[in-house]
Amino acid sequence: MATSIKDLERAYSLARERYAQLEVDTGHVLEQLAAVPVSVHCWQGDDVGGFENAGQELGGGLAVTGNYPGKARTPQELRADFEKALTLLPGRHRFNLHACYAEMTGRRVDRNALTPDLFKNWIAWAKSLNIALDFNQTYFAHPKAADGLTLAHPDKGIRQFWIEHGIRCREIGAAIGKALGQSCLTNLWIPDGMKDTPADRTAPRERLVEALDAVFAKRIDPRLNVDSVEPKLFGIGSESYVVGSHEFYLGYAVSRKKLLTLDAGHFHPTESIADKISSVLLYLPQIALHVSRGVRWDSDHVVTLTDELQAIAQELVWGDYLGRTRIGLDYFDATINRVAAWVIGARNLRRALLLAMLTPIAALRAAEAEGDFTRRLALMEEAKILPAGAVWDYFCLKQNVPVGEAWLAEVKRYEDEVLSLR
């Protein structure tokens, strides 16, 4: 039986008092938490399929495993699925599209010729839901990316094709931002790399800088669109060398005033992006995050409430970086219900932010300033099991979304009534 509203309120009231003793104002936390926008990635809904129907395999080192029934096959289905997810998610959300989700009507338009009107249904839908959109160039699942090289390709014609794609996508980003009145983040990730030891690591990087400069040549009003570049350490088929590495893009972003997208799965397995945030933000006004979960490699598992996720949230909250970070999710799991995958990951991200906001950070910092590391560690550990669950439940209640695992019954119902009929 579900907990009654009265019980939820009672539990919250006790929790509020407990946190007040630690000088944490839960009322303020709830307001702050609701306001953080999280950009949810469209591609969990259909296994990074998109709607070009070109029969091209995903490629680019991206791999989605699983064949759970009911995946979205059309833009209408994808939109309906995400609308369902939104009813189960507390707080503000954006929707993050990829260029390969263009809606072609009849005639197929290639990537170098995409125009904003191919996204007009997405824009109208976003408007009707009062959510903002983000965007991504799609440098994979295309014959001209079949050898895993795009903007760094040795062939000038192929490079030019992908430069044009990059330019078109920024224009689409700007059109989205204009139509929705909220600046769109257009994120650029390319798969370019080599499976085995390269003989020349320099030339592809020189070509990439030149190509990126061509993509970004036109100035776009940041109120309409901002650009971000996403580094990676290695991928499937690019184990030995990735052209757009962390150092490559960090230098690029700083020198060209672009955002840098830190993806949690794009580094050595024991390396955390949490520690990078405060360094990178010394040199860049803004960054973007792809919150993901690597398991042994960049496997893009559904985001769970790990220590790493909490470390990321702590940095954002404790470092006061929320206003300078465009938070997005990036994972794809086809072995479970895809709507549930969205809900689990997005709720976990916000839960991690809540935990960080509820930590008595002033006391921790005071202990640190006094050099009292015993106290810092002791308080940090005690803080971990303060009654945050009661605050989370109350937050969901106030946000009109299911409390606790009750959301799962909603997803199951949707599966029975909609997904299983596909």
| 48 lines the binding site for ligand RNT (CB under 6 A) | yes
| 52 lines the binding site for ligand RNT (CB under 6 A) | no
153 is catalytic: no
Tell me 184's DSSP state: E
232 binds, among Zn ion, ligand RNT, none (CB under 5 to 8 A by kind): ligand RNT
Tell me 267's DSSP state: S
- Alpha-carbon 83 to chain mean position: 18
- Nearest approach, Cβ of 226 to Zn ion (angstroms)? 17
| 290 lines the binding site for ligand RNT (CB under 6 A) | yes
Q: How many residues does the chain have?
A: 422
- Give the one residue of 47, 134, 263, 410 binding Zn ion; rule: CB under 5 A: 263
- Give the one residue of 330, 393, 410, 415 binding ligand RNT; rule: CB under 6 A: 330
Nearest to 145 by CA among 101, 109, 111: 111
Helix (H/G/I), strand (E/B), else coil: 133: strand
Per-residue interface string for the shown chain with ligand RNT, residues 170-209, x marking contact by CB under 6 A: -------------------x--------------------
- Give the one residue of 43, 234, 267, 407 binding ligand RNT; rule: CB under 6 A: 43
| 315 lines the binding site for ligand RNT (CB under 6 A) | no
Contact 301, 65 (CB under 8 A): no
Choice among 93, 98, 144, 232 that is catalytic: 232
The rounded distance, in Å, linking the Cα atoms of 331 and 306 is 15
Site of tokens 């040199």: 283
Where does this chain touch Zn ion (CB under 5 A) — which range of 257-265, 373-381, 393-401, 410-418?
257-265
298 is catalytic: yes
Measured from each CB, the residue nearest to Zn ion is 290
Count Cα atoms within 13 angstroms, Cβ side, for 310.
10
Amino acid at 21: Q
Where does this chain touch Zn ion (CB under 5 A) — which range of 12-20, 77-85, 259-267, 370-378?
259-267
Query: H or E segment at 227?
Result: strand 225-229
Helix (H/G/I), strand (E/B), else coil: 242: strand
User: What are the tokens at 142?
Assistant: 């295309």
Contact set with ligand RNT (CB under 6 A): 43, 48, 62, 136, 189, 230, 232, 263, 290, 298, 330
